Amino acid sequence: MDKVQAEKYLAYCFYLAEQGSGSVSPNPKVGALLVYNERIIGEGYHQQFGKAHAELRAIESVKPEDVHLISKATLLVSLEPCNHYGKTGPCTELILKNKIPELVFSNFDPNPLMAGNSIRLLERAGVKISGPLMEHEGHQVIREYVCNVTKRRPYVILKFAQTADYFLGKTNMRTKISSFASDLCVHRWRSEVDAIVIGKNTLEIDNPSLTTRHWAGKNPVRIVLARIAKNQRSKWNAFNNDATTYDLDDLGLKDAYSVDDLLAKLFELKLGIVLVEGGAQIFRFFTNQVFGMRPE
């Protein structure tokens, strides 16, 4: 397969991979295609953490009348196939079992268990390899996963709304400065992350639910950076039964904790993507310590 064709199909793999947003963390989002004679005969993406990988879904999607073409097709994947046993079997074994002759991939897997091991194994087995291709675009799809495996902490998204004259709101007063359209956008983001973080002021002033009620998707875990007595939690929406909620005591954090301390605790809970929705104090808490963040 030539480079122009490969990049066209990889772009579609990226699109497929993004369909797993909100469901696969802390695994990476991955999309895969099987192409024979410029025709897509199978496609799939990683849909849920612990379930079938994109490569298997692509193979399983092939129609019965096209199954005989798998051994003549090119497999395109947005990320290097796995080569280790976890919740599923190695995709390299799947590729060899189905006698797929050619693999095109976008990025090497940054996981130290992988880091090119699959590609080397497949090359030794006689599979034709093309890649990495479109590395920048492919990296954008897995940026959260890259942060998880290379920095050993959650990927952090810092969300805030401000007025045209650069104010976040009024002190100790609930101030609505965003629109319903932006609310929809935020609720979509919530459905795609593992946890939401707020501070005590946001809890007491806004009494937010921190759910995805305006968007289809799961409610993320809620993190309240305060100490809330057990017998006082029922009056706060963030402690209702819509999702799991942790405060500082639940996390086992001391009073003088740092951003690193907090993120380490959240990573222990397998929370790979965190959306920070607090006010000015929480914003300063996160930005006073320099680390890779994605402002929204």
| Of 103, 191, 192, 104, the residue nearest 141 (C-alpha) | 192
Q: Using CA of residue 126, residue 130, residue 135, residue 141, what is the dihedral sign? A: negative
H or E, element range at 225:
strand 221-225
- What residues act catalytically? 55
Q: Which helix (H) or strand (E) holds 262?
A: helix 259-268
The DSSP-derived string for 97-119 is HTT--EEEEEE---STTTTTHHH
Amino acid at 23: S
Q: How many CA atoms lie within 13 A of 67 on its CB side?
A: 4
CA 6 to CA 114: how far, in whole Å? 23
Map tokens 């990049």 to a residue: 7
From the CA atom positions of the chain, what is the Rg in Å? 22
Residue 211 class from Cβ within 10 Å (0-12 exposed, 13-18 middle, 19+ buried)? buried
β-pairing, 39-45 vs 31-36, is: antiparallel
Cis peptide before 26 (omega within 30 of 0): yes
